[in-house]
Amino acid sequence: MLHPNSRYYRIATATFTTADGRQIGYLRRRLLPAGAAMPLLAEVEVTGGDRLDLIADRAFGDPEQFWRICDANDALNPFDLTAEIGRLLRVAVPTFEG
């Protein structure tokens, strides 16, 4: 099963039945929240050598929570967020909604 820190932890599962009767389980789609609507915890300026896992570790105490920073900045590609030194990243207050 999925780890509680996973962005998919609270996503429901579904089953698809093929024409020959096989059942295939899958996770339903995770809809991304609107980053600007998420409550702001802090803004962090990207410095040389920064990575999202390092920023997440400083902000949340857990490097695997980098996806929360992606969500808060409407980013589909996490590497885009640290590509520009000096960029301000939104760090949203963690929620338990996935």
The number of helices, as runs of H, and strands, as runs of E, in the chain is: 3, 4
Report how far residue 88's alpha carbon sits from residue 51's, in angstroms, rounded to the nearest whole number. Answer: 13
pLDDT in tens, 33-62: 889 999 999 999 999 999 999 999 999 999
Q: Is 4 helix (H, G, I), strand (E, B) or coil?
A: coil
82: tokens are 């640290």
Between 9-13, 60-64, 73-77, the lowest mean confidence (pLDDT) is in 9-13
Q: Count of residues for the chain? A: 98
The CA-to-CA distance between both ends of the chain, in Å, stands at: 15
pLDDT in tens, 24-36: 999 898 877 889 9
